Each structure stands twice: as structure tokens, then as C-alpha cells.
Structure 1
Amino acid sequence: MTDPAILEAAQAEADIRRWLERAVIGLNLCPFAKAVHVKGQIHYATYLDTHEGRLIDALLAEARALVALDAEVRDTTLLIAPHALTDFLDFNDFTERAERKLARAGFEGVLQLASFHPHFQFAGTEADDITNATNRAPYPTLHLLREDSMDRAVEAFPEAEAIFERNIETLEALGPAGWTALDVGPGSATS
């Protein structure tokens, strides 16, 4: 009999993969994601606890594991936390604390932290503004990126600074109904 925690972690990872493939790569929200996905250089880790202090510990452990490997083996890590920090404002505060912890642990200039949340909301936007979808994932997710890899990707990508504006245009053209049709919510990978 399979452990329920293993099944739950597998479902969370499948949901994040589906979101990555359909939204992030499918809509080209991040032009750098496809290459590392196709090469199998994304590591998925799932944190099933609710305790945010242990989530910081898990993030630091994932950061150490990421830098211990060559980028050709593991270029980036997605730490999925389906039960932790379900409130976006709490998650946003946590992300700031996590960035400080990573810096104190010696990862400043080595790793960047990006964040995704089902209720992500940019400052100055309404909760239902479609442009918030650029950072909306099925679960609270912390993304560790290698600074060197990001520098190389940005250098190779013409007009990298225009990505954000292009994403806004893409999402506004897609609209809320189009986003919903992508079917990238929790549990969608089983349908």
C-alpha cells in the first residue's frame, strides 16, 4: 500500500508540472523555462507540513542541494508547499524573511528566490486583475534560481526587460476565461 504522503507529494508535483507546461511554458511567460524543463534540470520538492519555520529549513536544505550539483544536472528548484502559507500576505512576508535567511546563509549573489502563490497579487492591482496570473501557481511555491544561469539566459535573450510587459499583454489578451480554460489549478493533473 502506498503511503498517502507520497501520493499527496506526487499529486502536488504533477499539478506544478502541468502549470509549468501549460501556463509558464505554454504562454511563454518565462522564455527561459522551456530549456531547463526539456533537459530535466528542474528539481521538484514538496513540503507537506504547515509550519513555516520548518519550511525555511527545507528551503535552505534545497538551496544547499542545488548549489552542490552542477547546473547541467540541476539548474533550478521548485519547492512546493501545498499546506503552508495559504494566505498570500503571510506568504509574501515569509518570502521576504526567506530571502534574508538565504543571504545570511551565504547564497546572496549565488541564488535568487522567486515566488508563486494561488492568490498572488501585485501591489496596486485588484485581486481579480488577470495580470496577477503571471505569478499564480496551484500552490505556494518557492523557486530557487542560479544567478549565473539567469545572467546567461538574460544575456542570450534579446530585450529581456520586456518580458514583464509582454506577459501583461499575453494575459490581458487571454482574459480570465482563457486562464481558467488552461485548467492549471490544484488536482487538475488528474483530469
Structure 2
Amino acid sequence: MQVTDSTIIEQTLAWVRSFIVEHNICPFAKRELENGSIRVEVVRSKKMEVALEELVAEIEWLNEHPETDTTLLVFPTLFKNFDHYLDYVEFAESLLEEQGYDGIYQLATFHPDYCFADAEPEDASNYTNRSPYAMVHLLREASVEKAIAFYGDTALIPERNIALLTAMGSTAAEATLQRCFNAPLHK
């Protein structure tokens, strides 16, 4: 049975709440979650080209809706393979530049099998970018700059996250991620 879009959205938001915000992986996420300025869109495409078109369509939507600060584009059926996902990210970043959106929007990347180039797949540090589904996070550059100005030195965030997740361990991080699939639906 196919999981519904609303369930995928709720699972994604459960991950944002219970992992990203609760462990302060991104110190900016709590404010956006509380303000309701995070949009989650499910893309059911089975082709990379269509997924790239959906990315451009979402950017156009964000251009018309400045009250929405950020979008998580979730791909539940595409990019099961992490390397295939990385190919998409490379094309997506090139597309942003070609479309003139470099410096206006940026992408953050998340995947269930995320693995940093200098890490082993089982390293707990990979969980900073592991998510319930493959997704890209579209962020407005201006909002990122404001958040950095408010927060201060963001260079320490990755180090802090690596230390936190290493202390937590891969087993506990994976258990937290898996709990998102059992999150109660909010009406």
C-alpha cells in the first residue's frame, strides 16, 4: 500500500520536530516551525527530469509567496540510491545557477542513506543529513543571512552536531529517525 502524501508530510515534520529541533541540529529550524513558514511538498516523480522541473516550479511558487520561508521537497519514490540522489543534487545546483537563482536560493541535502565523503556509512555524524525520505531543502539566501547575523558564528554548528551525534551513537540516532514513521498524525 502506498503511503499518502499527508502521511509523508507528517513523518517529515515529525523528523523536523523530534530530531532537527529537539537536538538543535539546525538552530534556525525551531523558529520557522513555530512560525509555520516551512512548506513540505511531496514529489512523486519517477524521473529525474521531472523532479528538476518540480524544483523550478517550487522556486516559482516561493517567489510568489514570500511569507513562506523555506520548502522541503520530499521524494518518496525517487532516489532510493544515494549516488543517484547526489547526481540530482548536482543537476539541481547547476539548474539554480542557470535560472539565475544563485545567491537567491540555496539547497540543503538530506537522504536516508546520507554519507559524507570523509565518513564511513555507519558513522553517527551522517545523521545530521539523514532523513526519513530523500529530500532537498530550498532556503532563501536572504533568510539564511538574517539567521546567521542573529545567531552569530555558525561555523561551530557542524562540529557541535558531529560531537552530539557521536555521543548519541548511530543506533540511537537511527532509532530517533525510525520513530518518525510512527508519528501520530496531527489534524
Task: Give the TM-score of the pair, scaled to structure 2.
Answer: 0.93
> Which residue pairs with 1:58 in the alignment?
54
AA paired with 1:34? Answer: K
Distance in 1 (alpha carbons) for counterparts of 2:157 and 2:181: 29
Instruction: Quote the offset at 1:8 in angstroms.
Output: 1.2
Corresponding position of 1:166: 160
Aligned partner of 1:141 in structure 2 is 135
SS in 1 for 2:147: helix
CA offsets 1:103-150 (integer angstroms, 9 cap, x no match): 111211100011100000000211111100000000000110000000
The equivalent of 1:77 in structure 2 is: 71
1:127-138 correspondence runs (5 A): 127-138=121-132
Cα contact 2:19–2:177 (8 A) shared by 1: no
Please report how far the alpha carbon of residue 154 of structure 1 lies from its aligned counterpart in structure 2 after TM superposition.
Answer: 0.5
Provide runs of 4+ in structure 1 moved above 3 Å: 183-186
Whether 1:8 aligns to 2:4 is: yes
Aligned to 2:26: 30
- Alpha-carbon distance, 1:185 to partner: 5.6
Contact 1:88 1:119 in 2 (8 A): yes
In structure 2, how many angstroms separate the alpha carbons of the residues matched to 1:95 and 1:21?
A: 25
* Contact map agreement 1:45 1:78 (CA 8 A) in 2: yes
Count, aligned residues: 185
Q: Distance in 2 between matches of 1:153 and 1:184?
A: 29
Tell me how far 1:180 sits from its aligned partner.
3.1
RMSD after superposition: 1.7
1:119 aligned partner: 113
Aligned equivalents of 1:154 and 1:139: distance in 2? 27
Unpaired segments ≥5 residues, structure 1: none
Q: Is the 8 A contact 1:137 1:185 kept in 2?
A: no
Q: Equivalent residue for 1:68?
A: 64
Q: Give TM-score scaled by structure 1 length.
A: 0.91
The CA deviation string for residues 14-42 of structure 1, in whole angstroms up to 9 with x for no partner, is 11001100111011000001101100000
Residue 89 of structure 2 corresponds to: 95
SS of alignment partner, residue 44 of structure 1 = strand
Deviation of the 1:158 alpha carbon? 2.4
Identity %: 32
